[in-house]
Amino acid sequence: MNDLIISDVRVVTPLGSMARKGAEMSELFILDHASVFVSDGIIAYVGKERIPDKPDCVQIDGRGCCLLPGFIDSHSHLVFGGLRAEEFSWRLQGDSYMSIMKRGGGIVNTVKSTRVSDFDSLLAKSMELVHRMSEMGVTTVEGKSGYGLDRETEIKQLEVMQEMNKTEDCPVEIVPTFLGAHAVPEEYKGRSEEYIDFLIREMLPEIRKKNLAECCDIFCEEGVFSIEQSRRLLMEAKDLGYRLKIHADEIVSLGGAELAAELHALSADHLLHASDTGIRRLADSGVIATLLPLTAFALKEPYARGREMIDAGCAVALATDLNPGSCFSGSIPLTIDLACIYMGLSIEETITALTLNGAAAVGRAEKLGSIEVGKQADLILLDYPDYHVLPYYIGMNCVNTTIKAGKIVKCKNNK
């Protein structure tokens, strides 16, 4: 039944069922010596009353702990074959991400390994990754295809995510995104328009019909897919009922943020080189700016202008971008540090960005992302009573217990 009582805990949460924008991002609701009652996986009570003991109900003594909503990693590429450690070494010697991609490495390198990986090995590898993420307090993960770039492998990746959601042992919910437009595959070299035609004609309708993806994404970047190609694909996707995401302005300032606003996308992601106009349009349109500081760190690129975006009134979410190329990391602790230290976010804004705004970036703000009656009980207990420890304990995991839909899925010690 997933009934649970957490007593004498400090509740720390944003409030609401939509993304928090601008100054709202720093408003957290804090309640000391609180009790939380979870019935059938849903939060049924949050307040000061002591909940009477109930038989068959799991009890957690929250003394000395903070209770936060589970973290939502709203941008990841977690299903892939192989690794690309050699590319990381080349980058250490001065190579750039795009030059490696241009000479046939990068994404298409992982495409080769993913095409030859069987379903079960992809599943096992992805499960291992989400178990690690769950230890760091992640309860929901957005996962993208994009390492197949052909019908069979794109569907295989999405089916792996579907299978994960059906697996009892999976500690997170996966929100699947179709990223067939991640790169131009070798078979279509020099024919990117034809590849977009193929995606529109064959892939978008089939994946929608099979209900394998909720969102559609594209790598809109100089030398990959242009603004015009992105607009063409995403408008078709929108007509079919996909929610839209864009890898926008990651390497150069191409106008991806502006396009996301024009198309009312759910989110524009990366934004390292978003223009002033792009930032203003994101703020005006309410499109979520999903920032991925681990990628900037790993590529030694300048960080996205998170502080300026929030000051301009944007709703900012934070995510890991876990992938085998630009950022082989699912580290929430390091994401928090980089957001606070290098992007100028406050701790409160960082918490909102990883919870309620992350939920909004996967279209689930009504159900997830805050500790309120009626929301699903995706919760984390920190080892400390003070949430300020999150960035302070540099790169270290402060999460003691992770609860998914009222069920304890990870616990470091007996709480």
Q: Is 323 in the site for ligand NIG (CB under 6 A)?
A: yes
CB of 96 to ligand NIG, least distance (A): 12
Cα dihedral: 119, 124, 125, 129 (round 10) = 130
CB of 101 to ligand NIG, least distance (A): 8
Q: Is 250 in the site for ligand NIG (CB under 6 A)?
A: yes
CB of 405 to Fe ion, least distance (A): 27
Kindly report the length of the chain.
415
CB of 75 to Fe ion, least distance (A): 6
Cα dihedral: 389, 394, 395, 398 (round 10) = -20
Q: Is 321 in the site for Fe ion (CB under 5 A)?
A: yes
Q: Is 325 in the site for ligand NIG (CB under 6 A)?
A: yes
Q: Helical H runs in 312-362?
A: 332-341, 347-354, 356-361
Q: Is 154 in the site for ligand NIG (CB under 6 A)?
A: no
Binding mask 266-305 for Fe ion (x = CB under 5 A): ----------------------------------------
Residue of 73, 321, 349, 378 that binds ligand NIG (CB under 6 A): 321
Q: In the numeric block, which tokens belong to residue 47?
A: 């307040």
Which residues between 227 and 246 bind Fe ion (CB under 5 A)? none
Q: In sequence order, what DSSP letters do the residues of 193-211 get, joined into one string?
A: HHHHHHIIIIIHHHHHHTT
The residue type of 64 is G
Q: Is 326 in the site for ligand NIG (CB under 6 A)?
A: yes
Name the residue among 327, 338, 331, 334 with its Cα closest to residue 88.
327
Q: In the numeric block, which tokens belong to residue 126?
A: 């992805």
Q: Which residues, other chains included, contact 142 with Cβ-Cβ below 8 Å and sequence gap of 6+?
A: 73, 74, 75, 76, 174, 175, 176, 177, 215, 319, 361, 362
Query: For Fe ion, which is the closer residue by CB, 24 or 87?
Result: 87
Cβ atoms of 225 and 231 closer than 8 Å: no
Q: Is 142 in the site for Fe ion (CB under 5 A)?
A: no
Task: Tell me how many residues contact Fe ion (CB under 5 A).
Answer: 1
Q: Is 255 in the site for ligand NIG (CB under 6 A)?
A: no
Task: Tell me how many residues contact ligand NIG (CB under 6 A).
Answer: 13
268-293 b/e (C-beta count within 10 Å ≥ 16 → b): bbbbbbbbeebbbbbbebebbbbbbb
Question: Of Fe ion, ligand NIG, none, which one does residue 107 interact with (CB within 5 to 8 Å by kind)?
Answer: ligand NIG
The residue ranges that bind ligand NIG (CB under 6 A) are 77, 106-107, 110, 219, 247, 250, 295, 321, 323-326
The residue ranges that bind Fe ion (CB under 5 A) are 321
